[in-house]
């Protein structure tokens, strides 16, 4: 998987992603401490509101900003958003009112809503080969998982020698380094002609000569944002992808919202076991991210993603059953195992998603498609986060797990229905691998296209 880092442009982009994510992890810890300083016992409410603002910014702003992105050189947009995020983070230590936190979080996430989809749409242009792009998706997933594990440890080490306000300085430094790395990376221009091989283009590409897209009149920003939504809702594979996002968000909300209650109140474990449980979730995700490139050489994306999606409601339902039966000596190792499985299944669903988007739309439409998916996938989290919190508080973790297991099952079943298997389909990677080995390619097996 690390062979893709031999590409100098992608190596710099991946470095920018890693340092920015590390800085974001430091900011998460610092923001929690800042909220406690400002609100005391109401710190959880402040953080919950800030999280809702974050998701709302992603849902509302990402498609609109992406619609404007083609009017700005890609490098300029990415660097500008990194600099904007650094400026906002540097202002956070100086706030003394809760509303000021909300305003700054809105500005920070608005910049992230512009940066992230543009960054995602840039990677397949830098790595046009399917195998390289698959490895890049796994590396990106691994970077997110490492951030969730490494940043809290780094923050804890820094807090032994500096006040928490200095963590915001570390975050700003991460964004500045990211801006430098992006600025020094040769990126394809926004209007670069589509030079993808014919076998990997979306069906509409054959009707467009290179450069035709540049002769069309520029659409209005909101029209282009709606066009991105129509791209996702118009292709069966992308509609299925949205249902899969709901399944991941339902199971993930149980983990991210309910872990502290399960560990501290239900199981009576010490506070140090909370990051251990979350670490099991991240470890499962990391393990799958490392193995997935080889798996996708032998299996098609739909098969892998749908089968993994069916694991999510199963694991969450097992949690509900275990909680209803009452904790026993098995409860703690059982929880770690369920979190490990949930993280692995979520990673198996999310990691290949970029490949699905890339195959379903033309190259010129990638920024709008990635931005629309970025927005709509976060809408799923905007639904499941407060639902999990409300159910855990009002009815208990067992009921919350049961309800969200049903939501995850609905998402997985909806994806199977919305994304039908093409007749006689077989993963292109399998065909290429067989050809490279000089083997005779047999007729497609039915099992390769069925969940």
Q: In this structure, are residues 169 and 46 in contact, taking their beta carbons and an 8 Å threshold?
A: no
Average pLDDT over residues 406-419: 94
Distance between CA 36 and CA 22 in Å, rounded? Answer: 22
pLDDT of residue 431: 38
Closest alpha carbon to 232 in 117, 391, 147, 321: 117
Q: Which of 12-21, 41-50, 110-119, 298-307 has the lowest mean pLDDT?
A: 41-50
Cα distance between residue 242 and residue 256, in whole Å: 20
User: Which is higher by pLDDT, 57 or 245?
Assistant: 245
CA distance 27 to 165: 9
Are 451 and 416 a contacting pair, CB within 8 Å? yes
**What was the pLDDT predicted at 447?**
33
Helix 331-350 with 273-296: angle, nearest 10 deg = 40
294's tokens? 């080889």
Q: Are the C-beta atoms of 303 and 449 separated by less than 8 Å?
A: yes
Under 8 Å between Cβ of 41 and 157: no
pLDDT band, very low/low/confident/very high, at 191 (cuts 50, 70, 90): very low
How sure is the predictor about 406, in pLDDT bands with cuts at 50, 70 and 90?
very high
> Per-residue pLDDT for 298 more than 70?
yes
Residue 258 sits at the vertex; the CA angle it makes with 252 and 262, to the nearest 5 degrees, is 130
The pLDDT score that the predictor gives to residue 391 is 84
Give the model's pLDDT for residue 335: 93
In angstroms, rounded to a whole number, what is the distance separating the alpha carbons of residues 218 and 229? 18
Using H for helix, E for strand and C for coil, what is the string for the chain? CHHHHHCHHHHHHHHHHHHHHHHHHHHHHHHHHHHHHHHHHHHHHHHHHHHHHHHHHHHHHHHHHHHHHCCCCHHHHHHHHHHHHHHHHHHHHHCCCHHHHHHHHHHHHHHHHHHHHHHHHHHHHHCCCHHHHHHHHHHHHHHHHHHHHHHHHHHHHHHCCCCCHHHHHHHHHHHHHHHHHHHCCCCCCCCCCCCCCHHHCCHHHHHCCCCHHHHCCCCCHHHHHHHHHHHHHHCHHHHHHHHHHHHHHHHHHHHHHHHHHHHHHHCCCCCCHHHHHHHHHHHHHHHHHHHHHHHHCCCCHHHHHHHHHHHHHHHHHHHHHHHHHCCCCCHHHHHHHHHHHHHHHHHHHHCCHHHHHHHHCCHHHHHHHHHHHHHHHHHHHHHHHHHHHHHHHHCCHHHHHHHHHHHHHHHHHHHHHHCCCCCCCCCHHHHHHHHHCCCCCCCCCHHHHCC
First vs last C-alpha separation in the chain: 26
User: Please, which pLDDT band fits residue 70 given cuts at 50, 70 and 90?
Assistant: low
pTM above 0.75, yes or no: no
Instruction: Give the pLDDT confidence of 346-377 residue by residue, as tens digits.
Output: 989 988 888 888 788 777 777 677 777 777 88
Please say whether the beta carbons of 194 and 205 come within 8 A.
yes
Distance between CA 191 and CA 304 in Å, rounded?
34
Whether residue 18 contacts residue 120, with contact meaning beta carbons closer than 8 Å, is answered with: no
Query: Residues 251-272: pLDDT tens digits?
Result: 998 888 788 778 877 888 886 6
pLDDT greater than 70 at residue 302: yes
Please give the residue that has the higher pLDDT: either 39 or 173: 173
pLDDT, residue 68, reads: 64
Give the pLDDT score at 439: 40
Mean pLDDT of the chain: 76
The two three-digit tokens of residue 24, written as one number = 């974001």
Nearest to 113 by CA among 388, 382, 390: 382
Length of the chain: 451
Residue 92 has pLDDT above 80, yes or no: yes
- The pLDDT of residue 319 is 95
In this prediction, residues 372-388 reach a mean pLDDT of 82
Better pLDDT: 444 or 184: 184
Distance CA 13, CA 169 (A): 22
Q: Is 264 exposed, middle or buried (0-12, 13-18, 19+ CB in 10 A)?
A: middle
Residue that has been written with the tokens 């799958």 in this structure: 288
Distance CA 111, CA 103 (A): 13
Q: How far apart are CA 117 and CA 77, in angstroms?
A: 11
Q: How many whole angstroms separate alpha carbon 405 and alpha carbon 214? A: 46
- pLDDT single digits (tens) 316-354: 999 999 998 887 888 999 999 999 999 999 989 988 888
**How far is the C-alpha of 46 from the C-alpha of 112, rounded, in Å?**
20
Spatial separation of the C-alpha atoms in residues 234 and 216, rounded to whole Å: 21
User: Is the pLDDT assigned to residue 195 strictly greater than 60?
Assistant: no
Query: Which pLDDT band holds residue 403 (cuts at 50, 70, 90)?
Result: very high
Is 4 a residue whose pLDDT tops 90? no
Decide if pLDDT at 176 tops 90.
yes
């Amino acid at each position: 998987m690390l062979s893709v880092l031999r590409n100098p442009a992608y190596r710099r982009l991946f470095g920018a992603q890693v340092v920015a994510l590390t800085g974001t992890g430091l900011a998460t810890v610092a923001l929690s401490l800042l909220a406690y300083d400002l609100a005391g016992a109401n710190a959880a409410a402040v953080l919950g509101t800030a999280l809702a603002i974050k998701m709302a910014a992603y849902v509302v702003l990402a498609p609109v900003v992406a619609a404007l992105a083609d009017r700005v050189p890609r490098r300029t947009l990415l660097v500008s958003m990194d600099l904007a995020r650094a400026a906002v983070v540097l202002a956070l230590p100086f706030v003394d009112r809760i509303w000021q936190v909300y305003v700054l979080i809105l500005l920070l996430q608005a910049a992230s809503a512009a940066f992230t989809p543009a960054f995602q749409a840039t990677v397949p242009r830098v790595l046009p080969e399917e195998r390289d792009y698959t490895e890049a998706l796994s590396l990106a997933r691994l970077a997110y998982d490492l951030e969730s594990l490494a940043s809290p440890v780094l923050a804890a080490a820094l807090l032994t020698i500096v006040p928490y306000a200095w963590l915001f300085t570390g975050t700003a430094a991460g964004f500045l380094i990211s801006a430098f790395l992006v600025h020094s990376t040769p990126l394809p221009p926004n209007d670069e002609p589509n030079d993808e091989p014919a076998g990997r283009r979306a069906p509409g590409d054959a009707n467009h000569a290179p450069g035709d897209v540049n002769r069309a009149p520029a659409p209005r920003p909101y029209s282009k944002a709606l066009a991105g939504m129509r791209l996702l809702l118009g292709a069966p594979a992308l509609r299925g992808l949205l249902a899969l996002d709901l399944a991941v968000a339902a199971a993930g909300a149980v983990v991210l919202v309910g872990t502290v209650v399960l560990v501290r109140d239900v199981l009576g474990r010490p506070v140090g076991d909370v990051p251990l449980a979350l670490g099991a979730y991240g470890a499962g995700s990391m393990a799958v991210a490392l193995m997935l490139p080889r798996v996708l050489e032998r299996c098609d994306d739909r098969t892998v993603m749908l089968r993994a999606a069916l694991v999510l409601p199963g694991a969450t339902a097992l949690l509900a059953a275990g909680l209803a039966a009452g904790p026993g000596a098995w409860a703690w190792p059982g929880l770690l195992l369920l979190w490990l499985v949930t993280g692995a299944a979520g990673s198996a669903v999310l990691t290949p998603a970029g490949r699905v988007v890339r195959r379903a739309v033309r190259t010129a439409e990638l920024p709008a498609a990635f931005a629309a998916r970025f927005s709509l996938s976060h809408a799923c989290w905007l639904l499941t986060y407060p639902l999990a919190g409300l159910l855990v508080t009002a009815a208990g973790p067992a009921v919350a797990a049961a309800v969200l297991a049903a939501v995850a099952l609905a998402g997985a079943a909806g994806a199977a229905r919305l994304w039908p298997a093409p007749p006689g389909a077989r993963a292109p990677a399998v065909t290429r691998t067989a050809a490279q080995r000089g083997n005779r390619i047999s007729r497609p097996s039915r099992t390769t296209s069925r969940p």
